[in-house]
Chain A
């Protein structure tokens, strides 16, 4: 039987892959995609517990998380485009002004 434990396990695998992507990739676009993976892991967790407890509130919260993810993607990609205009690259290593 597939229970809430399976969903939670898959969710934390997805979360760990997303965090690893944020940590190791140089390309800003891929970092943003990894953040989307992390938000998807959170949604999966919410829906799993919503199913387990028979409570709709988890799904409603996931709707708001999806809204936030859409706004975050729009702003993040706009920042990437303006960085590309400024520096001609989208590598994280090239954004080092605050390094000192």
Chain B
């Protein structure tokens, strides 16, 4: 029991969910399997000391993206495809390529483990730094008409606060670019999904 048991449980959920996505005939069944896979990944995030990311995974993937998928499945009204094949005629070649990829990447991981590049089995190098960090910042005050700078060191507790410091201090520009990206994606989705209107002259 303990961590290995939970890891293997979530790993099984993730793997069988992913296989279900690929193997199920109806898109709705694929979506439900995908939901299970997302939740399993969220559990693995929490297990790997990334609690904030686990919560984001549940909210964004299992909440938002899954609802988008289900609404689209409902809108496009997939007809009953009882007799039709649900895979390409070249599905055999695709499967071969998939297993080749698995073998190549798996062989790479095994080889790098042999040369101790991934000295993997054991405790993380420094798990405390993921959950807490100390922030040093300079505070400038005006005292008696003179500027006085003092250096303040604060301890940050918890994974969410550490992520917030990283996101809003070290990665502020990428964060803002991501917001612009989301705006562009939203406008693009609205324009693409809109019916072409009759031109009123």
How far is the CB of B103 from the nearest CB of chain A, in Å?
9
Name which residue of chain A comes closest to B123, CB basis: A1
Majority DSSP secondary structure for residues of B touching A: helix
User: Would you give the shortest CB distance from B152 to chain A, in whole angstroms?
Assistant: 21
- Given the complex of chains A and B, what is the CA–CA distance between A19 and B98 in angstroms? 6
Whether A12 lies near B72 (C-beta < 8 A) is: no
* Per-residue contact bits, chain A 51-90, to B (CB 8 Å; 1 contact, 0 not): 1111111011011101111111111011111101100001
How many whole Å from B156's CB to the nearest CB in chain A? 10
Q: How far is the CA of A29 from the CA of B109 in the complex (A)?
A: 31
Q: Could you tell me how many residues of chain A have their Cβ less than 8 Å away from some Cβ of chain B?
A: 71
- C-alpha spacing A12/B18, complex, angstroms: 12
* Separation of A19 and B18 alpha carbons in the complex (Å): 11
Q: Which residues of B contact A (CB under 8 A)?
A: 3-4, 7, 11, 14-15, 18-19, 21-22, 27, 30-31, 34, 37-38, 41, 44-45, 47-50, 52-53, 56-57, 60-61, 64-65, 68-69, 72-73, 75-76, 78, 85-88, 90-91, 93-95, 97-99, 101-102, 105-106, 109, 113, 118, 120-130, 133, 159, 162-163, 166-167, 170-171, 174, 178, 181-182, 184-186, 188-190, 192-193, 195
